[in-house]
Amino acid sequence: MNHRKTAVAAAAIAGAVAAASPASAAPAQIAGSGSSATQPYFEVLAKGYEKVNPKIKFVYTANNGNAGVADVQAGRSAFALQTRPPLPSDTGTSYSKLFLDALTISVNPANKLTDLKIATAKDIFTGKLTDWSGVDGSGLTTPISAFGRNSTAGLYTFFTAAVLGGDQQGTNVTPLDKDGEVAVALKGNANGIGYVGLANSGPGSGVKRLSLNGVAPTKATIKNLSYPLSRYAWIVLPTKNPDGRVQRFADWVRASYEAGRIIDKAGAVPAFNAKKKPAAKKKK
């Protein structure tokens, strides 16, 4: 056989093998959906996990926690992120805690208020109290502009249970689709008050977090659960045939030292993560 033809054939075979090699394949995409309040944490954690397992890529749709759970139930998503505990209606799913977070009640910085009683918050968000003149310490005498979430959000469900005692959100509350939209609304309205997650109410957000019943939402008070609206971020998987790749990611988020550092830097509170960096493996 001609040596030149042999070389060309060998090169063609090598090229075909290389094309079929898993090393050259694009990362497998895994679809998830759910909480917009947890999305900022998920994005940095997913990026950190790429260093651990570059063979997968998460594609996340922030369509709110309750909607995300419905996606998992219907098989549209491999996982969901949720900001409330499981409910009886979440059939066919399993919940696992990832880390601690909190819901804040925040106002525009023009408001002089620093602390709010939960009972007063309930009156505001059920429409019984509609003017700042009825709230001691606000320094305002104008109508209250209240902002909240719609019922597709896990934060809506959490808030109505934890603050409203199961009552309905009042018609005086403007329902918004995303957690970050509440922060934007408060930033642009001196009369505003709303409930918003930690990730979208921190430094640079343009809003001011309030203490509740005299307890500020700090990492320490969230860690020991003394802040009234402390809560866990959850990952939701189907009970039957969950994707093992997502489970391994969840285990890494929950337990690893590196994920704990990412969670802390992003503004949430590690709950189960290793506190010490694992010792480097000795080379043989």
Tens digit of each residue's pLDDT, the chain (284 residues): 444 443 434 444 344 444 444 445 788 999 999 999 999 999 999 999 999 999 999 999 999 999 999 999 999 999 999 999 999 999 999 999 999 999 999 999 999 999 999 999 999 999 999 999 999 999 999 999 999 999 999 999 999 999 999 999 999 999 999 999 999 999 999 999 999 999 999 999 999 999 999 999 999 999 999 999 999 999 999 999 999 999 999 999 999 999 999 999 999 999 999 999 887 776 65
What's the angle, vertex CA 219, arms to CA 208 and CA 274, rounded to 5?
145
Using the structure block, give the residue that is written with the tokens 């260093």: 51
The answer to whether the CB of 152 falls within 8 A of the CB of 66 is yes
Query: Can you give the length of the chain in residues?
Result: 284
In 3D space, the residue among 135, 138, 143 whose CA is nearest the CA of residue 114 turns out to be 138
- Look up residue 37 and give its two tokens: 């309040």
The answer to whether the CB of 66 falls within 8 A of the CB of 160 is no
d(CA 7, CA 140): 84
The answer to whether the CB of 81 falls within 8 A of the CB of 133 is no
d(CA 222, CA 213): 14
Q: What is the pTM of this model?
A: 0.85
Long-range own/partner contacts, residues 71-77 (CB < 8 A, 24 or more apart): 71/33, 71/34, 72/236, 72/237, 72/238, 73/238, 75/238, 76/31, 76/33, 77/31, 77/32, 77/33, 77/34
The reported pLDDT for the residue numbered 21 is 45
In 3D space, the residue among 102, 267, 120 whose CA is nearest the CA of residue 193 turns out to be 120
The reported pLDDT for the residue numbered 11 is 42
- Residues ≥6 apart with Cβ < 8 Å to 281: none
The reported pLDDT for the residue numbered 282 is 66
Do 3-100+233-266 and 102-230 come out as alike in CATH topology? yes
The answer to whether the CB of 236 falls within 8 A of the CB of 68 is yes
Question: Strand pairing partners for 47?
Answer: none
Question: Left (φ > 0), alpha (ψ -120 to 50) or beta: where does 229 sit?
Answer: alpha
The reported pLDDT for the residue numbered 278 is 84
CB-CB neighbours of 169 under 10 Å: 21
- Look up residue 278 and give its two tokens: 């694992």
**Which amino acid appears at position 240 of this protein?**
K
Residue 198: DSSP 8-state: G
Fold of 3-100+233-266: D-Maltodextrin-Binding Protein; domain 2 (3.40.190)
d(CA 137, CA 92): 47
d(CA 91, CA 268): 28
d(CA 81, CA 84): 10
The reported pLDDT for the residue numbered 20 is 43
Residue boundaries of the structural domains of the chain? 3-100+233-266, 102-230
- Look up residue 25 and give its two tokens: 């394949």
User: Right CATH number for 102-230 from 3.50.50.60, 3.40.50.10190, 3.40.190.10, 3.90.1150.10?
Assistant: 3.40.190.10
d(CA 185, CA 192): 7
